[in-house]
């Protein structure tokens, strides 16, 4: 089950995706606890880091419980990307530095010419990866998309450049920037990347359970799979996939009692990390994710979006599940 990124041994092939607003310390701890072999922290801006922006610096918070962990950075300016990577290398306990070349949101991909926008400029990609690798000790990984749009699918070319520049692994989210999160991930692109580079390839896109994880690994030959949306409100997915990959065991979905306890635990951890106000605000996203598929939860969903204190949220959750 294990594989290596640089000299770092990763105990299994199941990885939590970087997700802004989600893949923070509490969620990474849960993901590791339930079986993710490696977790990616949400992206931080190179400029935000260098200007010691308060919000950005808070995003760097991590604990040893999460390790091994990759810290992702985004940006497009060569010098500030290198400086930001050097900062992480020196001051963060993260085990890996990851470069975002897949983010589609306008603020990142258009305004900052970063994220997926870099897919349009393979020369700059190579330059950024090479310069970062030369200046840091931690292994460097890169997360890309299939390409900018359907007419410019270049994941294989970009992956070769990234390998040449010295990266230790590459994640492929097999959709173009134009696709956003719609349509299906194209596993043939992950397969083609795997056939053309010798560094580990992490497949990403639409893994939702044990069978889809196994299918991606078998079909593409990728070294590991990365899970994003299917983990929202569902940290149990890691234990499910782990059991399925081991011997085909299908683990039962969590009981209502487990979901209730997890919601309260997650709320508590978010409030401890970010303060009560932000914690309950973030629970307005996580709550409905946890309640997905549970009958008669619409009133609770609405109540969660209006609750004003941690105690009130806990009471609402307890009432609903009793």
Ligand X SMILES: Cc1cc2nc3c(=O)[nH]c(=O)nc-3n(C[C@H](O)[C@H](O)[C@H](O)COP(=O)(O)O)c2cc1C
Question: Would you please indicate which residues are annotated as catalytic (active-site) residues?
Answer: 103
Please, what is the minimum distance in Å from the beta carbon of residue 230 to ligand X?
A: 6
- Name the residue nearer to ligand X (CB basis): 94 or 207: 207
- Name the residue nearer to ligand X (CB basis): 135 or 184: 184
Please, what is the minimum distance in Å from the beta carbon of residue 121 to ligand X?
A: 17
- Name the residue nearer to ligand X (CB basis): 19 or 267: 19
Please, what is the minimum distance in Å from the beta carbon of residue 176 to ligand X?
A: 12
Point out the residue whose Cβ comes nearest to ligand X.
228
Please, what is the minimum distance in Å from the beta carbon of residue 93 to ligand X?
A: 19
Provide the token pair at 218.
Answer: 């078998």
- Name the residue nearer to ligand X (CB basis): 154 or 179: 179
Residues at the contact surface with ligand X, assessed by CB under 6 A: 17-22, 42-43, 72, 100, 102-103, 143, 173, 204-207, 227-230
Please, what is the minimum distance in Å from the beta carbon of residue 204 to ligand X?
A: 5
- Name the residue nearer to ligand X (CB basis): 229 or 284: 229
Closest among 98, 193, 212, 194 to 146, alpha carbons compared: 193
């Amino acid at each position: 089950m294990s594989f290596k990124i640089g000299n770092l041994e990763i105990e299994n092939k199941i990885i939590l995706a970087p997700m802004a607003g989600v893949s923070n310390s509490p969620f990474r701890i849960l993901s590791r606890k339930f079986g993710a072999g490696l977790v990616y922290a949400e992206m931080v801006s190179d400029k935000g880091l260098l200007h010691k922006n308060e919000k950005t610096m808070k995003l760097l918070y991590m604990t040893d419980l999460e390790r091994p962990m990759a810290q992702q950075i985004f940006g497009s300016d060569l010098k500030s990307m290198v400086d930001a990577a050097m900062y992480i290398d020196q001051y963060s306990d993260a085990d890996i530095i990851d470069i975002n070349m897949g983010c589609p949101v306008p603020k990142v991909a258009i305004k900052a010419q970063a994220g997926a926008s870099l897919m349009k400029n393979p020369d700059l990609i190579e330059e950024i990866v090479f310069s970062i690798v030369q200046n840091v000790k931690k292994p460097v990984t890169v997360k890309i998309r299939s390409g900018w749009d359907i007419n410019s699918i270049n994941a294989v070319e970009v992956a070769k450049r990234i390998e040449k520049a010295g990266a230790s692994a590459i994640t492929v989210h097999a959709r173009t920037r134009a696709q956003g999160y719609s349509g299906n991930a194209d596993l043939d692109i992950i397969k083609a990347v795997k056939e053309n580079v010798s560094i580990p390839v992490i497949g990403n896109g639409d893994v939702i359970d044990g069978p889809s994880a196994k299918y991606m690994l078998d079909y593409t030959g990728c070294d590991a799979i990365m899970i994003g949306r299917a983990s929202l409100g569902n940290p149990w997915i890691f234990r499910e996939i782990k059991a399925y990959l081991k011997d085909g065991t299908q683990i039962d979905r969590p009981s209502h009692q487990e979901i209730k306890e997890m919601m309260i635990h997650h709320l508590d951890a978010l409030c401890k990390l970010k303060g009560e106000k932000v914690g309950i605000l973030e629970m307005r996203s996580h709550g409905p994710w946890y309640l997905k598929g549970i009958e008669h939860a619409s009133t609770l969903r609405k109540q969660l979006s209006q609750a004003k204190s941690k105690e009130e949220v806990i009471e609402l959750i307890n009432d609903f599940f009793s």
